[in-house]
Amino acid sequence: MQNNFELNGLWFLPNSAETQLSGKISFSQENGIILELLGNFNNPEKLLKDSTNEIILGILENGKKVTLLNNATTSKTINFPGIPTTKYMSLYMLIGEHFIDKKDLIFDEISSEYHNLSEWLDISGIEEKNSNFKQFNLHYSLPEEINFDINDSMMKFRFSANTKSDDIKSFILNQKTEFIIQKEKPIEIFDLLKESLIFQGFLTFGTFESCYPKIIKLKNSNIYESYKEYKISRQIDLYYKSKINRSKKQKNSLEFLFTYDDIKNNFKSVIDKWYKYDLEIEPIIYLFLNSFYSYNTIFSENKFLEIIHALETFHRRTFKNHVLDKAEYRNKKQIIVDSVPEEHKAWLKDKLSFGNEPSLKERLVELLSEVSKYRIVGKIIKDNEEFIKQVRDSRNYYTHYDISMEKKALNNSDLYYLTIKLRIILIIHLLISLGIEDEKIDQILQKLEDYHYNFLIG
């Protein structure tokens, strides 16, 4: 998915295979999937009418079949005399098979090569043996697969290798790593893709950098090529324009928040909890990961609001979300509502609906108390009360922009530092939630301090 390309082909609609148009398909992460046709699928009398076609099929010059999904006309020309042209933008492209109907888009395997996956795993089959000044001896063995199951999905890290040599001056061995999800029965394409993207989020958290798929391949065991007595599943390549920031830099493992080796002993439990928490606290995960995925790297008060919203939601979903016993509060509320005139009851009931929820201050007190044992917290927050006041005043101002609160709110670099501190608190809570041991969390946080946020430590 990271390589740009342009290919010529013939294109047609599923119900009109006899009407084929010449055209060019192009793909890039900047522009997405663009189909440029010589001609128009519309009837001659409707040439000017914009059209959307859920599925467009094609056959490339190399003979491969293509299915384009969710296609919208972006421009068209009509020349007299001449040939009309049409340009489509497509959301998804599958190369390797024709799918006539969306209900046919079911698969039982997805494999992805992710940016930074090999570096995060840090597992190599290369071993140096008995080298000296006159000879350099390398031995390579393909690493064994790492298998683990999440719910009804069989997942694995699979390694492969290829070599290239000119027989005289150079020999290149390239090891690749894929993350693979397999199902017993085919499921809908976007459900399978979602499972893979959850792992992408975990990898982004671990590497502390936006991770993205470089290659995505799909398989359905019912779509295959026959070779002698064997059935070989056909590979379907998936392309789409990613909406996340794609870093080209290859990071050093020291810059990662944590590596596979850090959590290897309980990796199955950690990744299992990540998938579980993606269902339970998905908004928090999204808000946190958005800081890596966003193209907008300029700090603004919106980034502060995002992280405080993530922390509030995390507390609401994982801590006790009431101050009084629920039955006690219901009784108190009823007594208060009963004491006012009838015309005010509905208004008061509405106002008291969230009256039993902890305040932002109470949430922050509890969130801080849970992480105070970690060294980095004491280094970045010297006074809990003052810190909570700064967060509360800033949140109130940037939410309502009440001019009376403006002088109390932090801004510019002070607000940025406050946001980073809140982010560290959320990171610690996520690490705890994943079941990572305290000693290992301290080591991870030391790395966070040394390589990412040392400017905060005074």
Task: Provide the residue-wise pLDDT of the chain in tens; the chain has 458 residues.
Answer: 668 999 999 999 998 888 899 999 999 988 999 999 998 887 655 555 556 789 999 999 999 999 999 999 999 888 777 788 899 999 999 999 999 999 999 999 999 999 999 999 999 998 888 777 778 888 899 999 999 999 999 999 999 999 998 877 888 999 999 999 999 999 999 999 999 999 999 999 999 998 999 999 999 999 988 888 888 899 999 999 987 777 666 777 888 999 999 999 999 999 999 999 888 888 888 888 888 887 667 888 999 999 999 999 999 998 887 766 767 767 777 778 677 787 776 776 666 666 667 889 999 999 999 999 999 999 999 999 999 999 999 999 999 999 999 999 999 999 999 999 999 999 999 999 999 999 999 999 999 998 888 888 86
At 71, which helix (H) or strand (E)?
strand 65-77
Residues 445 and 458: their CA atoms lie apart, in Å, by: 16
Helices (H) and strands (E) in the chain, counts: 13, 16
What's the confidence (pLDDT) of residue 409? 95
Residues 384 and 130: their CA atoms lie apart, in Å, by: 58
Token pair in block for residue 79: 């020349």
End-to-end CA distance of the chain: 43
What's the confidence (pLDDT) of residue 46? 55
What's the confidence (pLDDT) of residue 11? 97
CA distances from 340 to 331, 333, 352, 384, 398 (A): 15, 11, 13, 40, 34
Burial of residue 257 (number of CB atoms within 10 Å: 0-12, 13-18, 19+): buried
Any bridge partners for residue 174, and if so which?
162
What's the confidence (pLDDT) of residue 6? 95
Residues 13 and 19: their CA atoms lie apart, in Å, by: 8
Nearest alpha carbon to residue 161 among 144, 148, 142, 139: 142
Any bridge partners for residue 138, and if so which?
128
What's the confidence (pLDDT) of residue 396? 94
Residues 356 and 323: their CA atoms lie apart, in Å, by: 5
